[in-house]
Amino acid sequence: MNERENFHGNFNRGQKNPAQHNENRNKYPDITPKDYFKPNSDIVKDDLFSVTADKITESFSKEGGITGSQIRKFYDEVLRLRLKLDSANDKEKKFVEILPYLKMLIPKVVYFKNRKNVNVDESFESFIKMNIENITKVKEFEVFCDLFEAVIAYTKKYPNLKK
């Protein structure tokens, strides 16, 4: 087995074939910070915390691998950083300081996904990666925190996420 096959073998662990991986990946609604706002403004879209958050959470429940409490662990990390930002006198300066720690959630979700006895689905991994990789401004981070809060609220709607 060559290095590429080994990578894909590990990446697709527990899946029958790479096509299934692509199918799972497409379940997550492609939302990034640029999609939070109405065109050419910094006004948050009306349905971001309702319809969009529900669709995101639903995508997690379809794969059935992650639980609400596991999602909550990541949200708690984001919330911890948000509290640091909110307590700062200069939010822009504090944002620059916390951004590397926010981006550290990307390798944490990869690690979490690859641990034994943990089944993190592709949708949740995509949600974390696509959003955090693209946060460049304080406002985007604040809206991401609120979006993640709405996602947490919707986990109670889906029975297989209630664990």
Q: What is the pLDDT of residues 116-155, one digit of tens each?
A: 555 566 888 999 999 999 999 999 999 999 999 999 999 9
Task: Read off the pTM.
Answer: 0.80
Higher pLDDT, 111 or 86: 86
DSSP 48: I
Q: How far apart are CA 132 and CA 130, in angstroms?
A: 6
Lowest mean pLDDT across 6-15, 72-81, 110-119, 139-148? 6-15
Contacts of 74 (CB under 8 A, 6+ apart): 105, 108, 109, 128, 148
Per-residue pLDDT at 119: 59
Over 90: is that where the pLDDT of 34 sits?
yes
| CA–CA distances in Å: residue 110 to residues 4, 35, 72, 120, 128 | 18, 24, 16, 9, 10
Mean pLDDT of the chain, nearest integer = 82
Over 70: is that where the pLDDT of 63 sits?
no
Contacts of 69 (CB under 8 A, 6+ apart): 163
